[in-house]
Amino acid sequence: MSKFVRIDQGKKPKEVVMLNLDLVAIAELSRVDAAKGEQWVNVRFVSAEQMNMGSLHFKTLEEANQWTLKHLGAEL
């Protein structure tokens, strides 16, 4: 059975994505400079075929690591 995780993309209930974690081959971590000098941490999920499956944005590196450790069993 595949392992899915629900990702809410906004404040509207319609904006929801189900990410199949069994298809994730690569999780890439990068820092993003946002408006007003803020920095975000971006985690991009890539399949074995090098297709971008989605990405998540976190406020801190610690939040990104906690999420990937909980859902993927790996620390970035």
Q: Which residues contact 72 (CB under 8 A, 6 or more apart)?
A: 21, 24, 27
Contact indicator for 65, 76 with CB cutoff of 8 Å: yes
Asked if residue 7 has pLDDT above 80, the reply is no
Whether 35 shows a pLDDT value over 80: the answer reads no
Is the pLDDT score of 66 beyond 60? yes
DSSP H helical ranges for 1-76: 61-72
The residues near 73 (Cβ < 8 Å, ≥ 6 apart) are: none
Q: Do 24 and 72 contact (CB within 8 A), yes or no?
A: yes
